[in-house]
Amino acid sequence: MMSKKTVLLFALALGVNLTAQDKIELALQTLKEKYPQEKIHVLLNKKSYLAGENIWFKTFVFEGYSPSEISTTLFAELYDKNKTLIDKKLIPLFNGQGNGSFTLPESLKEDVYYIRTYTTWMTNFSEDFQPVKEIPVYNPFSPEKLDINSQSSWTAAVFPESGTFIDGINTKVAVRLQSKGSLPDHWGGYIADAAKPDEKIVSFKGFDENTGVFQMTPQSGRTYKLFIEDSKGNKQNIDLPAVSPSGMHLRVESKTDHIKYSLQSKNLSTPSTFYRVIGTINDQMVFKSMIRELSNEKVYTVPTEKLINGILQISIFDDRDQIVAQRMCFIKPDRLQILQPSLQELSLNEAPRALNSFKIAQNKNIPNYTVSVTDGNFQSSEEDNSLLSTLWLTGDIPSKISSPSQYFTKNHNSDALDAILMSEKWKRFEWRSVMTGAFPMIRNIPEPYISYKGKVSVSDQPAKNATLNLIFNTDKQGMNIYPVKTNDKGFFTLSGLIFENSINFHYQLNADSRETQVAKEKVQVIFQPNYAFVPYRKSLPESRYILTKRSSQDDIPAEVTRYITTKNSQKLINDKTISIQEIKIKGQKKDLTKKLNQELSSSLFRGTDETIFDFVNDENLSLGSANVLQWLDGRVAGLTVQNKAGTYTPLLRGAPTGIYLDEMPATADQLSYLSLSDIAMVKVMKGYFAGGYGGGGNGAIAIYTRRGGTKGRITNPDAPTQLKKISLKGFDQPAPFNTPDYSDGAFNGIPTDTRNVLYWNPDFAGSGDDSTIRFYNNDDAKSYHVIMMGFDKENGVPFYYNEVVK
């Protein structure tokens, strides 16, 4: 996996003159610079649900084959099959990753539901590339029940390589099956002359439920038929394309370290003086060549050592810039570049409710991991469409593919993947359109995180060029004053806001900014979000499930029975967890610093590797220094503070680190006016933390001032209540994922533990000192399905582990 810059350098290494840009190269350059496109992978905590349960999900947003830096906000929507919106969530993205949850209503009928995810930037392009994930939801009290549609017929289609079927040219042909329901696992067929259907010309077997391949040399004047039969005896006959007496054929073969291609032609009426071969990955050119004399025997080779894994599109243009042949293939299909770690210090115990653990090897280039551990007897959503298949296939190929994850497993069939790509076309852009300047119209520009536009009026007139003081309170951050300046029409913008749930603002117009004092009741501020959920225009995907009438004699499926037991047990687990937390809060005298940290810092500003200084409960800390950065110097391993001409610069492990005052970005100069006596807490976070701008990769120094409830606070508590108030909505906070801790007997009262999901952490900080994953078994699991995901952004390689261990 390489950066865009490296890919282009590879093109230069082939001797391509990229400075002499023609229409093709100009179109690609425009696409790369102005129209990059995103794709999303969605991981669910499990594959199906019961009404009343929570759906937890993790999202990965990519631009090409790297985490996207375009979007910082993701929209998630839950629909029923009639496209009625049930719920929607606003999710922050850090390093292209986000997580959230939906709570399914108890009254939800048993049926198929859908989760749609997208970014603002993605709404400028085809909805085909917005993932819509099918979710079966069970409810034994519904009058109808879900069944797999196993009776739906399948259809077949044929796709000659490069789209041409020419007399006398040996041609590889892909056969592709599609169905509204399930596809046959075993099937095959043969080719025959339509006039002699019993005489087989060539036979073949399907690679899998999606595709198969045969090879033949067509002859003019003959008509060919394909005869297919599956293992259940279902049959279908289809016509092959008419044999053309002339044309151009592109043959491609992708190997471990190179790609071979050749051009064969026959009876061309107006041969081109030359042919240009263009190889592209996404919207980037990775190689090009000029062929001035066609030879049916000539084979061209493109080395792939420096190319990334991904879909390569090879396009052949004639001297009039017309496409004469196209073909897609996968680069290095048998050498996937994946970081796949081993589980370290693996300690497994299959006894009921036993403690299990393992460690994740540390990697400084992977700030956080997604970790899921489930009962090994149950499938996860990754079994159908995995992070790898989204990244390398379905994120760019929107047509329906059954279990695309199979093409990127250890024992994958590269020929089957090649047949899939033979049957598809690249739809991110169309050559004819972009070469004539017909690019997408950009209507929606993503704002950084949450953005609001405001308007200030005085006596119904715009408050021009005025200063508005916004005084806001949150549960964790206390009171802060934020002055904003209006423009000549009374408007202002708040952007880059990162907060969960809601935030309350009081506001007051700065009287000094106007010639006369303005009566408070005549000042009005209106806020409008600079983001919007965009309605889905397409139809929802066809489901592989059908609804049938439920009979009173029907037994509840074992899986649903288990879900019911788990749901009841989970309620006890949640209640017990809350009870334990309440007991801990009441007994905080044993850990006052932890309590202060919980009170002052939000969940976005917590990490596994943090050093906390409690100025409230240890008054001696505030003695001896005038500047908090000067005070910190030498107190935390790896932290140094440079002093240049009176300006202090904090460095963590030799690199600059961020400064936050009450979780808002601050500068060292701002801290020079802050007395240590006004500080409640300082913490130094090393490595990743969610609240950092750009992801908080090198940690931060977070300083919290004294506020109501902390000792020494000097403030006028009545001041905010005298001002006008408004509430703004922030990001949606995921529901807590609670699991039992059987170590001390607190959860022994749970009668039956049938949890499928034993551990779920979509944001495990991998840079902390303790990288141990700990989880307790349910009552009957004998193996564990461990999934770990991340991305090494430095080297451009996905981190992926998906194994059953025992």
Closest CA to 753 of 737, 740, 744, 743: 740
Using CA atoms, how far apart are residues 534 and 758, in angstroms rounded to an integer? 35
Cα distances (Å, whole numbers) of residue 281 to 122, 387, 396: 19, 19, 11
- 780 pLDDT tier (thresholds 50, 70, 90): very high
3-state secondary structure 300-326: EEEECCCCCCEEEEEEEECCCCCEEEE
Q: Mean pLDDT over residues 14-25, rounded?
A: 56
Tokens of 749: 């009262």
Cβ–Cβ < 8 Å for 569, 754: yes
Closest CA to 330 of 404, 406, 414: 414
Tokens of 517: 């004092």
Amino acid at residue number 449: Y
Using CA atoms, how far apart are residues 586 and 163, in angstroms rounded to an integer? 72
| pTM of the full structure | 0.81
- 49 pLDDT tier (thresholds 50, 70, 90): very high
Q: Mean pLDDT over residues 464-491, rounded?
A: 77
Q: What is the pLDDT of residues 517-526, one digit of tens each?
A: 445 557 888 8
Most confident option among 110-124, 307-321, 662-676: 110-124
pLDDT for 653 equals 83
More confident residue, 475 or 180: 180
CA 495 vs. chain centroid, Å, equals: 23
Strands 700-705 and 658-661: parallel
Closest CA to 412 of 395, 388, 380, 381: 388
pLDDT for 656 equals 87
Cα distances (Å, whole numbers) of residue 434 to 25, 29, 31, 322, 360: 10, 11, 8, 13, 46
pLDDT for 92 equals 95
CB atoms within 10 A of CB 481: 10
More confident residue, 362 or 682: 682
Tokens of 456: 């200030």
Amino acid at residue number 102: F
Using CA atoms, how far apart are residues 784 and 806, in angstroms rounded to an integer? 6
Q: 2-8: long-range contacts (C-beta < 8 A, 24 or more apart)?
A: 2/306, 2/307, 2/308, 2/796, 3/66, 3/796, 4/32, 4/64, 4/284, 6/306, 7/281, 7/284, 7/286, 7/307, 7/308, 8/284, 8/285, 8/286
Tokens of 397: 């190929």
Residue with tokens 């001896």: 624
pLDDT for 673 equals 72
* DSSP code at position 731: B
Cα distances (Å, whole numbers) of residue 315 to 17, 88, 162, 324: 18, 41, 10, 8
- 585 pLDDT tier (thresholds 50, 70, 90): low
Task: Give the whole-number percent of the chain exceeding pLDDT 70.
Answer: 90
Q: Taking the alpha carbons of 663, 667, 673, 679 in that order, is the dihedral positive or negative?
A: positive
- 238 pLDDT tier (thresholds 50, 70, 90): very high
Q: Is 551 exposed, middle or buried (0-12, 13-18, 19+ CB in 10 A)?
A: exposed
Is residue 7 over pLDDT 80? no
Q: What is the pLDDT of residues 240-296, one digit of tens each?
A: 999 999 999 999 999 999 999 999 999 988 888 899 999 999 888 999 999 988 877
Q: How many Cα atoms occupy the beta-carbon half-sphere of 141 within 13 Å?
A: 7
pLDDT for 241 equals 96
Q: What is the pLDDT of residues 484-511, one digit of tens each?
A: 899 999 999 988 888 888 887 778 777 6
pLDDT for 337 equals 93
Q: Mean pLDDT over residues 697-723, rounded?
A: 59
Closest CA to 478 of 680, 707, 659: 707
Q: What is the pLDDT of residues 117-162, one digit of tens each?
A: 999 999 999 999 999 999 999 999 999 999 988 788 999 999 999 9
Is residue 715 over pLDDT 50? no
Tokens of 450: 């949450």
pLDDT for 285 equals 92
